[in-house]
Amino acid sequence: MKLSVIVPMYNVRDYCATALKSLALNARGDFEFIVVDDCSTDGTFEILQREIRKVPGGVLHQNPQNSGISYTRNAGLRMARGRYVAFLDGDDWFAPGYLSQLVAAIEHFGCDFVRTDHVRVVGRKREIVRSPQAVRNTMLAPIRSIMPADASTMVDYPLVWAGIFDRELLARRGLLFFDEKLRTAEDRMWTWRLHLYTSSYVAVDLAGIFYRRDVSTSLTRIPDERQLDFVPCFEQVAHEVSAHPWGAQILPKVIRTFCAMMAIHLDRADTYEPDVRALLKSRVSQALDGLHQPLLERTLEEMGERRAKLINSVRGSAPVPPAPSVQEPAAPQRSEYLRQVPAPGANRYRVGAPA
């Protein structure tokens, strides 16, 4: 089996048939489509039971109980047999022929994963959104695409459905599954670990996945306690980065991104229920106390007065730890992180957006 596509579904009655139709238009004899319903309550599963019959290579599974996006993706991953894996959310869709081009790209470069652009859909409007990586069709070291701290980089593009991944390699390295303790921000954790622990990737000019923005059932639109999982996510990222050989160079990016997420949530705290709002402030305060304080102070100075004021409004009075050593760890071996291949012609893998 060449490719497994994992498709979690939950209460997407109005969109799931379109998603499955796009799978059928991408079908090949060596592709499998694993659709996992997370105990939908709006009739989604009944539509899936009918429509999955029209998808060559389609398999439908239902969780025993509602368990969240991480568990649902993992359920599909445990069933997967393909050398490569890709993802699709239940309210999105693929352009015809897109998946064959994804497979062609990763096989051409022989890299650990490929990242793509995507098409953002708001009502009838379509807009191509490019990934932050400007260097295209060239083998790159994932760890070198984490920095700089003050710019949007590939770890700020945690769209796991915008790409294709070597499933067998990720499984060997313990990177394949999502953290089931995270109900949101699981894709950020997964993306950070890819960039910390894999050796090569390529960004290509492909825009063949259509992402519906502002769908009412999206987790990003549900202002409950699940939104706060960005805190344990970035606490874990900071922990792993601190133990990484490149930790001293990368930690400023972790803290900068963590603080940016804090500011976003604090800025919209009034949209949360009072108990969730109080919990947000408490968890952010505790997280701030656990960060390296001199580096945190520098980060807040660089982020600007408005965001710094939001974050400082909930800061505790944690003791200031000693300043970090100025000595940086030795860089990893060049052969591990800097494999390069000649770049093929530009736009080799572009997919035109259908009307």
Residue 196: count of CB within 10 angstroms of its CB: 21
**Mean pLDDT per 10-residue section of the chain, whose length is 355 residues:** 98 98 98 98 98 98 97 98 98 98 98 98 96 98 97 98 98 98 96 98 98 70 84 97 96 98 95 93 96 94 95 70 36 32 34 37
Q: What is the pLDDT of residue 316?
A: 72
Q: What number of residues does the chain have? A: 355
Q: Which residues contact 6 (CB under 8 A, 6 or more apart)?
A: 34, 36, 73, 76, 77, 80, 85, 86, 87, 88
Question: Rg of the chain's alpha carbons, rounded to an integer?
Answer: 21
Encoded amino acid at 135, one letter: V
Q: Which residues contact 176 (CB under 8 A, 6 or more apart)?
A: 77, 85, 167, 170
Q: What is the pLDDT of residue 223?
A: 67
| Residue closest to 153 by CA, chosen among 86, 102, 200, 203 | 203
Q: Which two tokens stand for residue 320?
A: 């200031």
| pTM for the structure as a whole | 0.87
Identify the helix (H) or strand (E) that includes residue 128.
strand 125-129
Q: What is the pLDDT of residue 75?
A: 98
Euclidean distance between CA atoms 8 and 40, whole angstroms:
11
Per the CB < 8 A criterion, the answer to whether 118 and 129 are in contact is: yes
Euclidean distance between CA atoms 123 and 311, whole angstroms:
34
Give 279-302 as a DSSP string: HHHHHHHHHHHTS-HHHHHHHHHH
Per the CB < 8 A criterion, the answer to whether 5 and 86 are in contact is: yes
Q: Is 114 helix (H, G, I), strand (E, B) or coil?
A: strand
Euclidean distance between CA atoms 178 and 176, whole angstroms:
7
The neighbouring-strand residues paired with 126 are 121
Q: What is the pLDDT of residue 43?
A: 97
98-102: which pairs have CB atoms within 8 A and are 24 or more residues apart?
98/26, 98/206, 98/208, 98/209, 98/351, 99/3, 99/5, 99/26, 99/28, 99/31, 100/26, 100/28, 101/206, 101/208, 101/349, 101/351, 102/3, 102/163, 102/164, 102/206, 102/208
Per the CB < 8 A criterion, the answer to whether 257 and 295 are in contact is: no
How many CA atoms lie within 13 Å of 123's alpha carbon, on the beta-carbon side? 1
DSSP 136: -
Encoded amino acid at 276, one letter: V
